[in-house]
Amino acid sequence: MNNSVIEVTDVSKSFGGVVANRNISLTVPDGEITGLIGPNGSGKTTLFNSIVGYHPIDQGSIKFEGQEISDLNVQQIARLGLLRTFQQTRIYGKMDCVKNMLISVPHRKAKWSDMFTDYSAEDLEKAEHLLDFVGLYSKRKLLSGDLSFGQQKLLEFAMALMNEPKVLLLDEPTAGINPTLINGLIDRLLRANADFGITLLVIEHNMRVIMNLARHMYCLAHGELLASGAPEEIQNDQRVIDAYLGAH
């Protein structure tokens, strides 16, 4: 068993009267792909937001590589090498793909005005290499707003890779993508893990996708951790099946 790169211990988070996460404890093994599933509204995105410092937690501890990070902000945590992508894509539609890639490394630049003028040839080469990696090289000069939704998700993934994360949290990476592109994305995620050594924590609704990706899975329901185990165990866990059936 590998070391844990993320350790979440007894984390709770409420919004007003709504308990979005209650006493969640889980670990993410270094170098592996871990799945996070659960019905809509079960608290998955909230947990991601807590881990990356998007909002303060009410109680508990979150450690990254052994360091407490629950009191750090998004930028500080990103600098440590822990990044997330969003359920809704966040690209600049009026910029071409290469520009989107170049501005996705904001923490390197001191001033906003430097971002467009002061990138290095090295960054440009890296941007093009990663666009090639996700299959978007031929589209690199197109406005990202003109890409299909699935291609935008691939772009967003490439933008995250620009930052050379140690750990990447992906929030429903395949949502809204057609089956052909989904297979391509699964392949890219596996390669990002195997070839670049990036640890992945993936929220995913599509069971086929997560079964193909994850070595270990956690399932949330009603803001609480319901089950954890190998994908086959989770898939056959009656509590998990009931949670999904009860949600529809």
What residues make contact with ligand ADP under the rule CB under 6 A? 15, 18, 20, 38, 40-46
Shortest Å distance, C-beta 41 to ligand ADP: 4
Minimum distance, C-beta of residue 153 to ligand ADP, in the bound complex (Å): 17
Amino acid identity at 207: M
Six-digit token pair at 195? Answer: 């070839």
Packed helices 149-162 and 121-133: angle between N→C axes, nearest 10 degrees: 140
User: Whole-number minimum distance, CB 40 to Mg ion, in Å?
Assistant: 7
For residue 180, give both structure tokens.
């052909």
From ligand ADP, Mg ion, none, which one binds at residue 69 (CB under 5 to 8 Å depending on kind)? none
Three-class secondary structure of residue 234 per DSSP? helix
- Count of residues for the chain? 248
Pair 182, 215: CB distance under 8 Å: no
Run of H or E residues at 48:
helix 44-51
**Strand ranges in 79-197 using DSSP code E only, listed in sequence order:** 82-84, 167-171
Least distance from C-beta 6 to Mg ion, angstroms?
18
Q: Which stretch binds Mg ion (CB under 5 A): 3-11, 13-21, 45-53, 222-230?
A: 45-53
45 makes contact with Mg ion (CB under 5 A): yes
34 binds, among Mg ion, ligand ADP, none (CB under 5 to 8 A by kind): none
43 makes contact, choosing from ligand ADP, Mg ion, none, with CB < 5 to 8 Å by partner type, with ligand ADP
Binding site for Mg ion (CB under 5 A): 45
